[in-house]
Copies of this chain bind each other. A is one copy, B any other.
Amino acid sequence: MTADNSAALAELEELIAACRLQNKEHKKTGNKEALALGLEQLKELSKKKTELLPPKIKGEAGAKGDQGKMKKTEAEKVEDEAKAFTLKTPKGTKDYDEKDMAVREQIFSKITSIFKRHGAITIDTPVFELKEILSGKYGEDSKLIYDLEDQGGEKCSLRYDLTVPFARYLAENGVSNMKRYHIAKVYRRDQPAMNRGRMREFYQCDFDIAGTYDQMVPDAEAVRVMSEILTSLDIGSFTIKINHRRILDGMFEVCGVPADKIRTISSAVDKLDKMTWADVKKEMVEEKGLSPEVADRIGEYVKLKGSRELCDKLDADAKLSGNANAKAGIDDMRVLLRYLEIFNVLPRVSFDLSLARGLDYYTGVIYEAVVNSSPSVLNGEPVGVGSVAAGGRYDDLVGMFSGNKKIPCVGISIGVERVFTIISGQRDRSTIKSNATEVYVIGLGEGFLQERMQICAQLWDAGVKAEYMFKKKPRNLQVQFEVCDKEQIPLAIIVGKQEVDNGVVKIRKMVKDNVDSVDKEVTVERSSLVESVQKLLKAI
Contact = CB atoms under 8 A, between A and B. Distances in A.
Could you say which of A154, A224, A472 has the most chain B C-beta atoms within 10 Å of its C-beta? Answer: A154
Contacts of A172: 87-88, 95
Contacts of A214: 449, 470-472
Interface stretch (A48-56, A141-149, A352-360): A141-149
Could you say which of A117, A118, A465 has the most chain B C-beta atoms within 10 Å of its C-beta? Answer: A117
A494 interface: no
A436 B211 contact: no
Interface string A295-325: 0000000000000000000000000000000
A224 B461 CA distance: 11
Nearest to A36: B154
Interface stretch (A127-135, A238-246, A260-268): A127-135
Contact of A121 (B83, B149, B435): B435
B153 A460 contact: no
B147 A147 contact: no
A116 B465 contact: yes
A171 interface: yes
Interface in A86-141: 86-91, 93-98, 100-102, 104-105, 116-130, 132-133
Nearest to A469: B213
Contacts of A95: 123-126, 169, 172-173
Interface stretch (A6-14, A375-383, A450-458, A525-533): A450-458
A102 B532 CA distance: 36
A339 interface: yes
A461 B224 CA distance: 11
A401 to B, nearest CB: 6
A183 to B, nearest CB: 11
A435 B87 contact: no
Given A89-B129, A172-B88, A121 B453 contact: no
A87 B401 contact: yes
A301 to B, nearest CB: 31
Nearest to A125: B95
Given A86-B130, A119-B435, A151 B147 contact: yes
B130 A101 contact: no
A151 B86 contact: no
A222 B145 CA distance: 40
Nearest to A168: B87
Given A101-B122, A122-B101, A201-B127, A465 B117 contact: yes
Could you say which of A88, A453, A470 has the most chain B C-beta atoms within 10 Å of its C-beta? Answer: A470
Contacts of A93: 126, 128
Given A168-B87, A465-B116, A123 B149 contact: no
A281 interface: no
B201 A470 contact: no
Given A87-B172, A168-B87, A96 B117 contact: no
A135 to B, nearest CB: 10
A156 interface: yes
A76 interface: no
Interface string A452-485: 0110010011011111001110000000000000
Contact of A101 (B87, B124, B173, B401): B124
B211 A470 contact: yes
A343 B169 CA distance: 46
B151 A189 contact: yes
Given A148-B146, A217-B470, A228-B460, A97 B123 contact: yes
Rank and list the top 6 A-B pairs by shortest CB-CB distance, nearest first.
Answer: A213-B470, A98-B121, A93-B126, A119-B467, A96-B124, A116-B436
7 contacts: A83-B403, A84-B403, A87-B168, A89-B130, A118-B465, A146-B151, A147-B149
